[in-house]
Amino acid sequence: MANAKQSAKRRLTMAERAQQLMLVHFPNIPEAWKWTRKTHDGFSTIPRTLPIAMQIIDAQSKGQPAGHVLFCLWARMPDHPVITIENPSTFAAEAGFLGERAVDTWRRRMKKLRELQFITTKPGASGEFHYVMLTNPNAAVEWMRSGGKIQDGLYSRFIERLPEIGAYGDIEAVHAYWTAVNDAEKAKVAAAEEAAKQTSSTSPPPPPPPIPPTKSKRTRRSKENA
């Protein structure tokens, strides 16, 4: 009886609900046309907010949209945020850039992603973007918002999506980090000011004025004889 009650109360997961809908609406689709990460290789784990982050990036980089470049990086991520780019032309082609200026175009988009805090980079054998670390896009979007770089409409969609996927804690975490950094900086400044006060209060007193030279006895006797 207890197991039956627990079973009745248990909510279906998103995957289970999707499976039920498939049985109702797409019952005759052959297995060769279906793709799931549990049965197929060649997949990457990406944040569910990435589509909105890409729109935010494109809105901020008009004329040189870099959202798709970020998606290509996430598609290459080996379930670890660090990527080694040994052949930039391959990444440029996957992002849709062709021709003699393809790599230069790709690099400009990468600089924009770095400027907006979606990636951190280190140079290496292949150039400026040999080592790339993908940052948390939710934190990057919140950083953009703090700098007034996001339209209200796009940010509203982003902030509404976070609780749906259980990722609102990312925003709380980045704000806690910023608060800790600010507190540490304030403490550092206060310590420096206190040290300056201590130095001024314990400084040695000024030296006494010099003693004027005394007249020799010979000089006094000469005056008496005169």
What domains can you pick out in the chain, each with its CATH number? 50-165 (1.10.10)
Which residue type sits at 200?
S
HSE of 125, CA atoms in CB hemisphere, 13 A? 4
Q: Residue 49 has what DSSP assignment? A: T
Task: Give which of 126, 34, 132, 15 is closest to 78, Cα–Cα.
Answer: 132
State the average pLDDT over residues 1-30. 78
End-to-end CA gap in the chain: 135
What tens digit of pLDDT does each residue of 157-170 get? 999 999 999 999 99
- At 77 the pLDDT is 92
Burial of residue 206 (CB within 10 Å: 0-12, 13-18, 19+) is exposed
pLDDT at 104 over 80: yes
Distance of CA 137 to the CA centre of its chain: 7
- Residue 8 is predicted with a pLDDT of 53
List, in sequence order, every beta strand (DSSP E) within the chain. 82-84, 119-124, 127-134
Query: What span, in angstroms and rounded, lies between the C-alpha atoms of 89 and 83?
Result: 15
Q: What pLDDT score does 36 carry?
A: 86
pLDDT digits (tens, 9 = 90+) for 175-191: 999 999 999 999 999 99
pLDDT of 59 over the 80 cut: yes
Confidence of residue 37 (pLDDT cuts 50, 70, 90): confident
Percent of the chain topping pLDDT 90:
68
d(CA 214, CA 211): 9
Answer for the pair 113, 58: CB distance below 8 angstroms, yes or no.
no
Per-residue pLDDT, 9: 65
Residue 203: the pLDDT is: 65
Q: Which of 73, 163, 75, 165 is nearest to 121 (CA)?
A: 73
User: pLDDT band at residue 5, thresholds of 50, 70 and 90?
Assistant: low
pTM of the predicted structure, to 2 decimals:
0.78
CA distances from 8 to 4, 50, 187 (A): 6, 35, 55
